[in-house]
Amino acid sequence: MKYFFLSYLFVGAIIVSAFGLRGSKSELPPLEVFQDMDHQAKVKYQATSEFFADGRGARLPVKGTVPMGFEIPAKAAAKGGKPPRFGFTNGLGYYDTGKMGDFYGDGLPTEITGDPSVFNAGFLKRGEERYNINCAICHGVSGNGKGVTSKYGIMTAFNLQQPGSLDAANAGAYRADGAIFDVITNGKGLMGGYGGNITVRDRWAIVAYIRSLQLAAKEAGVTLQ
Ligand code: HEC
């Protein structure tokens, strides 16, 4: 028994001498028993790689593909299509911000309505699909603000405000299209922004789809709540 305790102390002393007391600060790099993920085999940008025959680390995009973050052109370049447009925003105009000067604008921008390859029945379908993927969990499939998150009490459990109903009286009457676009881009209150996930064109498609949800509710004479 004595040796057991002694060996126990001995092992303890070895651990402390090798790793130090946890919590004590040191300027030395940390000791890694199992390799951390900061050390891993990877190709750094601009670096060469012997793995590929041409020796380049960075690969050229596969021919005919559209890089991530770009909107897929309606027509191939060979058939007169425009080059793919960056899908996320850097611009300052109405299309990219939903604002005209200091005010939110209303109506879809001409970048959408003026391009028949974008503004067609598929546009609203795209909006429906993107809405159901990104927004319905909180705002509900019908836009009544009662998505699954509210059903399972997630919003209330974390003491969060329930997502707003997107009913016309709620989100429409005082909200211009540009204002809804801005909520999607930057979030509002407790809602996070989706500007980094949803392309500009898809955000406008969602705005159009929200309008169609509001219209459908109005036609049916129901309030989304
Ligand atoms: C994680 C849950 C969640 C998701 C996902 C979400 N929202 Fe929201 N949304 C909220 C909450 C909560 C509010 C209320 C924010 C506040 O006022 O503090 C809100 C507010 C809004 C408003 C303002 C309503 C008003 O009357 O002021 C709009 C418009 C809106 N969301 C649209 C969207 C759209 C479009 C999407 C999908 C791209 C989306 N939201 C995704 C939770 C969410």
What domains sit in the chain, N to C, each tagged with a CATH number? 91-220 (1.10.760.10)
Q: Indicate if ligand 1 lies below 6 Å from the C-beta of 164.
A: yes
Confidence band, pLDDT 50/70/90 cuts, at residue 106: very high
Confidence band, pLDDT 50/70/90 cuts, at residue 172: very low
Exposure string for 69-108, b = 16+ CB within 10 A, e = fewer: eebeeeeeeeeeeeeeeebbbeeeebbbbbbeeeebbeeb
pLDDT at residue 158 in the model: 52
Confidence band, pLDDT 50/70/90 cuts, at residue 27: confident
Cβ partners under 8 Å of residue 103, min gap 6: 176
What average pLDDT does this structure show over 143-166?
Answer: 69
- Cβ(59)–Cβ(52) under 8 Å? yes
Alpha-carbon span 86 to 109, nearest angstrom: 17
The share of the chain scoring above pLDDT 70, in percent, equals 87
> Smallest Cα–Cα separation from 181: which of 95, 54, 55?
95
pLDDT at residue 131 in the model: 95
pTM for the whole structure: 0.73
Q: Indicate if ligand 1 lies below 6 Å from the C-beta of 161.
A: yes
Greatest mean pLDDT range, 113-117, 120-124, 153-157: 120-124
Per the model's pLDDT, the better-predicted residue between 89 and 174 turns out to be 89
Residue 224 has pLDDT above 50, yes or no: yes
Residue 135 has pLDDT above 50, yes or no: yes
**Cα 28 from chain centroid (whole Å):** 38
Tokens of 124: 């609203």
- Cβ atoms within 10 Å of 194's Cβ, excluding its own: 18
Confidence band, pLDDT 50/70/90 cuts, at residue 181: very high
Looking up tokens 């299509």 gives 81
Confidence band, pLDDT 50/70/90 cuts, at residue 163: low
What average pLDDT does this structure show over 109-136?
Answer: 93
Residue 24 has pLDDT above 80, yes or no: no
Tens-place pLDDT, residues 40-50 = 888 888 899 99
Task: Identify which of 130, 131, 139, 209 to mutate to test ligand 1's pocket (most ligand atoms within 8 A of the CB).
Answer: 139
What average pLDDT does this structure show over 206-224?
Answer: 84
Q: Whose CA is nearest to atom 39 of ligand 1?
A: 135
What rounded mean pLDDT belongs to the chain?
A: 83
Confidence band, pLDDT 50/70/90 cuts, at residue 53: very high
Alpha-carbon span 84 to 203, nearest angstrom: 17
Cβ partners under 8 Å of residue 78, min gap 6: none
Q: Whose CA is nearest to atom 11 of ligand 1?
A: 163
